[in-house]
């Protein structure tokens, strides 16, 4: 039921189970009758969120007093609140701990999102294995793989720690009991889309089930102060499968990205209640799981085409102040179709279309009749607006068949009026480019930065920026040293 027949609002109706209906009428009952933690929560949530009584009558907001509302709670002055220090559980996997700001905070819930097969289960099996090897108890609730499948995977990683416990179940309501018994220092639930609450109807992975299961796990984490990691799948378009509300419910959202056909994987936090977002950990998927990568440039820039190929521009991504240089490649080829193709790989497709329109309107580079492709090399996704200028210059270079200077990077957001706008972390990005041997940087004119050893070319609009291509015909190119 999408639309409430009473108030006409959408998505306001919650499903509740028949078994937990209180014997008497409406209201606060239900709670006492509830057979389990999950049931209690459901009976209660049904009342408080829908505004419908259990027998169907409408409740006024004040009437929905629930087990959640604690009558002895009063507002406190913020100056009087006692702040407990956050305690971090380190996994021992340096790149992961760094992204998490030092480890997993007690009682926190982290959602790990990524496409199937990208390495979520592997990485977190490695993480809890490393914790278990220190003698601490850890619990892996595996709803996707059987215990023997998990063990086979663990065997590829090395010795099996005795304190790593695997619970292969899909029933979320069973988890709480084992936590009491095994006292794990961290719990991994893999994955939320396969867990079910049997007291609810609906298939695993349905919005209702995902929400209810996550809600229960979060409550357990908050009560027990055990950090929980919930694995979630993303759909083809890159959004998390399940309701957006899942991202709101958890403390941290970690994204594991990469191209399945490439070895490089990046792990970054897009939401983090205990620290900065944007930090990135780089891994390589190998035969013994995910291995941290210190110098990714061999993979990212090592095979850059010789300096005479049009359509290649290097862009320093910021990634939370830890820059990463990636090569943007573009290609324009005569189209045989009435509607030319535009394909973006590892680059935001909508943004790509806008940039092409800007290019056509403000620089008068005709792209009519050309199929156009753009891609970020190495499977690292470039969704930052700061990458606009590099994408646009790569496209201009491809359409005009003029190579972009090999020793130059480009950074800047491009506005619809063709203006180049400033972006964060400029100095860090330029410094990293210099470290790798780049000699020049095309930057927004409004950002006055000065980094020794690299020539800054300030540009205020894309006409100025593309004029770099005019000059580059006569200039020699210098090969960049990557290392
Ligand atoms: P997995 O962690 O199962 O992905 P996810 O949980 O995100 O769906 O990763 C599966 C892929 O990783 C699979 O294709 C096999 C590969 N893999 C390795 O290459 N090396 C290894 O040591 C392991 C354990 C997996
Ligand atoms: Mg998995």
464 C-alpha to center of ligand 2: Å?
A: 48
β-strand partners of 269: 254
And the tokens for 112? 């790990």
**Domain 298-470 in CATH 3.40.366.10:** no
Ligand 1 site, residue 116, Cβ cutoff 6 A: yes
Residues in CB range of 340: below 8 A, 6 or more apart: 367, 368, 369, 370, 371, 372
117 C-alpha to center of ligand 1: Å?
A: 6
Could you say which of 3.40.50.300, 2.60.120.380, 3.10.20.340, 3.20.20.70 is the CATH number of the domain covering 88-294? 3.40.50.300
Q: How confident is the model at residue 86, as a pLDDT?
A: 85
Cα–Cα distances in Å, from 133 out to 150, 160, 161? 16, 8, 6
Separation of alpha carbons 1 and 18, rounded Å? 16
Q: What is the pTM of this model?
A: 0.75
DSSP reduced 3-state for 13: coil
- Give 71: exposed, middle or buried? Use CB within 10 Å, 0-12, 13-18, 19+: exposed
Note the pLDDT tens digit of each residue in 336-391. Answer: 988 999 999 999 999 999 999 999 999 988 888 999 999 999 888 898 999 999 99
286 C-alpha to center of ligand 1: Å?
A: 9
pLDDT tier for residue 298 given thresholds of 50, 70 and 90: confident
Where along the chain do its domains lie?
Answer: 88-294, 298-470
Note the pLDDT tens digit of each residue in 243-266. Answer: 577 889 999 999 998 887 888 899
* Minimum-distance ligand 1 atom for the alpha carbon of 157: 22
Q: How confident is the model at residue 27, as a pLDDT?
A: 33
């Amino acid at each position: 039921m999408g639309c409430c027949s009473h108030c006409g609002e959408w998505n306001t109706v919650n499903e509740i189970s028949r078994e937990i209906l209180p014997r008497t009428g409406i209201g606060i009952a239900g709670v006492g009758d509830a057979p389990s933690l999950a049931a209690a929560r459901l009976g209660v949530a049904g009342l408080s969120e829908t505004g419908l009584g259990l027998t169907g009558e409408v409740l006024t907001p004040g009437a929905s007093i629930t087990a959640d509302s604690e009558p002895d709670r009063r507002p406190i002055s913020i100056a009087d609140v006692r702040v407990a220090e956050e305690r971090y559980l380190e996994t021992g996997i340096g790149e992961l701990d760094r992204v998490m700001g030092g480890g997993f905070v007690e009682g926190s819930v982290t959602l790990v999102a990524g496409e199937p097969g990208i390495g979520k289960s592997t990485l977190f099996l490695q993480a809890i294995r490393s914790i278990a090897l220190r003698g601490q108890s850890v619990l892996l609730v595996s709803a996707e793989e059987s215990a023997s499948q998990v063990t086979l995977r663990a065997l590829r990683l090395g010795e099996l720690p005795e304190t790593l416990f695997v619970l292969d179940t899909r029933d979320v309501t069973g988890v709480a009991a084992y936590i009491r018994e095994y006292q794990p220092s961290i719990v991994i639930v893999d994955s939320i889309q396969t867990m079910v609450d049997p007291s609810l109807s609906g298939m695993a992975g349905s919005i209702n089930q995902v929400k209810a299961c996550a809600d229960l796990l979060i409550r357990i984490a908050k009560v027990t102060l055990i950090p929980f990691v919930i694995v979630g799948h993303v759909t083809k378009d890159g959004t998390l499968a399940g309701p957006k509300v899942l991202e709101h419910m958890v403390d941290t959202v970690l994204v594991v990205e990469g191209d399945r056909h490439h070895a490089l994987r990046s792990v970054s936090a897009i939401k983090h209640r205990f620290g900065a977002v944007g930090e990135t950990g780089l891994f390589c998927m190998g035969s013994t799981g995910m291995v941290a990568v210190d110098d990714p440039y061999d993979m990212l820039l090592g095979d850059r085409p010789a300096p005479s190929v049009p359509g290649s521009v290097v862009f320093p991504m910021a990634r939370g102040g830890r820059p990463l240089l990636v090569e943007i490649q573009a290609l324009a080829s005569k189209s045989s179709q009435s509607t030319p193709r535009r394909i973006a790989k590892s680059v935001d497709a909508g943004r790509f279309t806008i940039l092409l329109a800007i290019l056509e309107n403000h620089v008068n580079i005709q792209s009519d009749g050309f199929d156009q492709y753009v891609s970020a090399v190495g499977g690292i996704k470039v969704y930052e607006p700061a990458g606009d200028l590099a994408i646009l210059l790569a496209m201009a270079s491809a359409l005009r068949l003029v190579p972009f200077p090999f020793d130059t990077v480009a950074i800047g957001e491009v506005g619809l009026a063709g203006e180049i706008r400033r972006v964060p972390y400029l100095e860090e990005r330029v410094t990293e480019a210099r470290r790798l041997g780049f000699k020049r940087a095309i930057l927004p004119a409004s950002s006055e930065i000065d980094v020794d050893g690299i020539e800054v070319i300030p540009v205020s609009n894309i006409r100025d920026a593309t004029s770099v291509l005019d000059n580059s015909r006569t200039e020699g190119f210098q090969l960049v040293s990557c290392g």
